[in-house]
Structure 1
Amino acid sequence: MRSWSGRTLAISASAAAIALALVGQASAQKAYGPGASDQEIKVGNFVPYSGPASAYGIVGKVEAAYVRMLNDKGGINGRRINYISYDDAYSPPKAVEQTRKLVESDEVLFLFQTLGTPSNSAIMKYTNSKKVPQIFVSSGGSKFGNDPKQFPWTMPFNPSYETEGRLYAQYILQTLPNAKIAVLVQNDDYGKDIYKGFKEGLGDKTSMIVAEAPYDLAEPTVDSQMLKLKASGADVFVNFATPKFAAQATRKLGELGWKPVHLLNNVSASVGAVLKPAGFENAQDAITLTYVKDPTDPAWASDPGIKAWSEFMDKYVPDGDRTNALTVYGFAAGQTLEHILRQAGDNLTRENIMNVATSLKDFSPTVLYPGIVMSTSKTDHFPIEQMQLMRFKGDRWEADGPLLSAQGKH
């Protein structure tokens, strides 16, 4: 009996030692950077909740609400997400200030969905020098994805603005080869980026542009610009404006009785935030490019992705405008954040977050337009490279033609 008990004791001791070793090994496999622990993951963000681009504030609110939903479900791998979102008022100096606060005081693990081309341009060198992931930037600025060698810690969420501009030019060349084009363009990094792509897309046909009218964010209206553009005799109006000014311009089309072919950039294609205030009658037959499902389109009424978004909105953003596609965009971004954190597992270092973000393979948030997927690599930081041409009819956008692929055209 003694010998049997001794054997049992020895086996038990051995099993305990193995178990302890396994526990130790599991613990050793956990790796944390700043802002990460067994209990919490700190994620930093800024959005213009105030100022001339405050229409984008809803994006930050939806993303914060998505994080609340995740935390209500127990967080990610047992960890609560602390989503710290500040107002930068669409001001680059303010964005720099808020970024330093997020990195140096709040000590976030990474920045996610910081919004705006000018603001992200202002912090890009800083985040890369500090080796802080600045991922899925809420912008399609070409600089955020075009040079991963120089800026390996930065990557965008949106399709390239340059590519979007090229696709509008391609549409004009194919369908309106004799067009006279008038362009309203925001006088900042965003406007310059999409306009650059547009001109490149026209190639040796840039003489088709008969008038251009830049505006500054500090201006109260674009009425004088619209008067100038109409006077040019143009029959195509290219609206490269952010929501407040895009709505003003669209409304002015109606007031002036000017009926050109209207190309409206994606950032201002929201039915609720732009076209409804502008007056649906002034937006008829406008053309845009998109990559998320439009919540106003009855074609998606029974779509599982839109249903999930709708249930989320009911519970977490009950006062949100259901006609505002920016809420769908925020939901897609929230799903992307969830995916990145789940894939990172217990390796919550800045290096691994960046590794996961640059290793997407056909990931598709449920509210992306059918057929569009997100893929990235160490040498290709643009996750979305397809867009769908849409035409505004009645009170909603309708698909017009097949998906347009922008692969390799940043």
Structure 2
Amino acid sequence: MSSPEDDHPEVGLPKGKIVLGSHFATSGTYGAAFKPVGRGLAAYFRYVNAEKGGVCGREIEFIPEDDGYEPAKAQEVTRKLVEQDKIFAMIAGLGTAAHGAVWEYLNTKGIPDLWVMSGAHKWAADPQAHPWTVPLLPDYRVEGAIQGKYISENFPGKKVTILYQNDDFGRDTLAGLQSGLDPSKNELVGAQSYEPTAVSVSSQVTNMAQTKADVAICACIPGYTAQAIEQADRLGWEPQWWVGYVNSDKLMFSYTSAETMEGAFTLNANKPIDETSDPAIAEHIRIMNEYGDVAPANFSIVGQNAGMLTEFALQKACEKGPLSRESLMEAVESITGYYPTDPKYALALP
């Protein structure tokens, strides 16, 4: 591995350091839902500094900023990270609308924009126009297609409806669902949308219930998911619920009871946090207990995955020569079939 080139340091690479930044919600309603992602990322970077001596002979200086899940605030904190803090790369910017407000800026500035914490289809739809952006989460269109295919295979003849957030997240899920459903087996009898700023989705769920659908998809973030299922219960409507993977954490039970969520389907690409006998889960729990400030959870695992990919990409870049933003992107683009060989880091489902 090459030694750091500190005589003429690149922006974001002061002597002995790599400065990384991120934006995500840590306060308010959305912070309650998604804070563990950022905390898992920060804990992993602290672990790398403390137990591995950093990466590329440098300590990771990580600067997370709270954007409250608001696009305007995301723009403000991202400009601060780039223009004042002089970050080397943006890591795991979270939220479809929030990150959508800053990715053009990051690409214009030539800032590596890695492991976007949103499954919006647009992040990878045109890599030539956005060469600095690399998403991490499964595409929402793919998730919707999986849902549709599963419903047609396992609930033939059943009527289907969907509640979706009126942004790329929800619209991508709807498009995927429509592509995955077999129209000869299932009819999509309704599609209700809500704005990300909505106070309530009760009227939309009432409209859904009137269709008497047997299966209901909720392309919603946790607070709205809880509202939807609770309203359906109040109406006496009991469809088979399928909720987006953005709800696949025990944090859901801070919005509603486990009894309310009983029987709902969701997807998850990682091992669940309660599989404590798994060596990777056991190590994640140790890292969070020693270096984190929130309880280990499914979403803190997502954060650690982003941290491990960052570490891996930086190491690959340094092995090729002096570290630069361009060499980091070349390393990222060369990654194929990534899966940790050490079982204590294998958090993703194989």
Normalised by the size of structure 2, how large is the TM-score?
Answer: 0.90
Cα separation, 2, equivalents of 1:28 and 1:336: 23
Cα distance in 1, alignment partners of residues 259 and 30 from structure 2: 24
- 1:290: which partner in 2? 268
CA separation of 1:26 and 1:62: change in aligned 2, threshold 3 A? closer
Change (3 A) 1:26 1:288: closer
The answer as to 2:155 corresponding to 1:182 is no
Alpha-carbon RMSD across the aligned residues, in angstroms, is 2.3
Which residue number in structure 2 is paired with residue 43 of structure 1? 20
* Matching residue within 314, 317, 325 for 1:344: 317
Matched, 1:56 2:34: yes
2:336 corresponds in structure 1 to: 361
Q: State the one-letter code of the partner of 2:10.
A: G
Which of 240, 247, 252 is the aligned partner of 1:261? Answer: 240
Q: 1:77 offset after TM fit, Å?
A: 3.0
- Render the CA deviation track for 1:64-91: whole Å, top value 9, x for unaligned: 1221222223221331111111111111
Task: Provide the residue aligned with 1:105 in structure 2.
Answer: 84
Verify: 1:118 aligned to 2:91, yes or no: no
Q: Which of 50, 63, 66 in structure 1 is aligned with 2:44?
A: 66
> What is residue 303 of structure 1 aligned with on the other side?
278
- Match among 83, 108, 112 for residue 62 of structure 2: 83
Alpha-carbon distance in 1 for matches of 2:185, 2:28: 34
1:142 equivalent to 2:117? Answer no
The equivalent of 1:252 in structure 2 is 231
The 5-angstrom pairing of residues 172-321 of structure 1 reads 172-202=151-181, 208-270=187-249, 272-275=250-253, 277-296=255-274, 300-317=275-292, 319-320=294-295
Q: Which amino acid aligns with 1:309?
A: H
Shift of 1:136: 0.8
Instruction: Tell me, in whole angstroms, the C-alpha distance in 2 between the residues paired with 1:233 and 1:127.
Output: 46
| Change in 2 beyond 3 A, CA 1:82/1:163 | same
**C-alpha displacement at 1:329, in angstroms?**
1.2
Deviation at 1:318, TM superposition (A): 5.4
Farther off after superposition, 153-162 or 62-71: 62-71
| Paired AA for residue 287 in structure 1 | F
For residues 193 and 108 of structure 1, what CA distance do their matches in structure 2 show?
A: 31
C-alpha separation between the residues in 2 aligned to 1:254 and 1:29? 62
Aligned length: 341
Equivalent AA in structure 1 for residue 304 of structure 2: F
Return 87-96 or 272-281, whichever deviates more.
Answer: 272-281
Distance 1:142 1:205 in 2: 27
Q: Note closer, same or farther for the CA distance 1:213–1:40 as it changes in structure 2 (3 Å cut).
A: same
Contact 2:74 2:102 in 1 (8 A): yes
Provide closer, same or farther for how the CA distance between residues 31 and 168 of structure 1 changes in structure 2, counting only shifts above 3 A.
Answer: farther
**Cα distance in 1 between the residues matched to 2:185 and 2:29:** 30
How far apart are the structure 2 equivalents of 1:261 and 1:333? Answer: 33
Distance 1:30 1:176, change over 3 A: farther
Letter in 2 for 1:115: L
Q: Which has the higher contact order (CA 8 A, sep 6+)?
A: 2
Conserved? CA contact 1:32–1:349, under 8 Å: no
How far does residue 164 in structure 1 lie from its aligned partner after superposition? 0.7
Q: Which amino acid aligns with 2:39?
A: K
CA offset at residue 319 of structure 1? 4.2
Q: How does 1:351-390 map to 2 (within 5 A)?
A: 351-364=326-339, 366-371=345-350
Structure 2 Cα separation of the partners of residues 97 and 130 of structure 1: 15
Deviation at 1:239, TM superposition (A): 0.9
Q: Which has the larger displacement, 137-146 or 215-224?
A: 215-224
Cα offset, 1:50, TM superposition: 2.6
Deviations 1:231-271 (A, max 9, x none): 2211101011011111222333433332211111111121x
Residue-by-residue CA offset, 1:331-359 (whole Å, 9 max, x unaligned):
22222222122222263211011111111
Q: What is the alpha-carbon distance in structure 1 between the residues aligned to residue 254 and residue 77 of structure 2?
A: 33
Change (3 A) 1:367 1:195: farther
Amino acid at match of 2:287: F
Residue range with higher mean Cα deviation, 300-309 or 39-48: 300-309
Q: Which runs of 5+ in 2 are unaligned?
A: none
- Mapped partners of 2:169, 2:5: distance in 1: 45
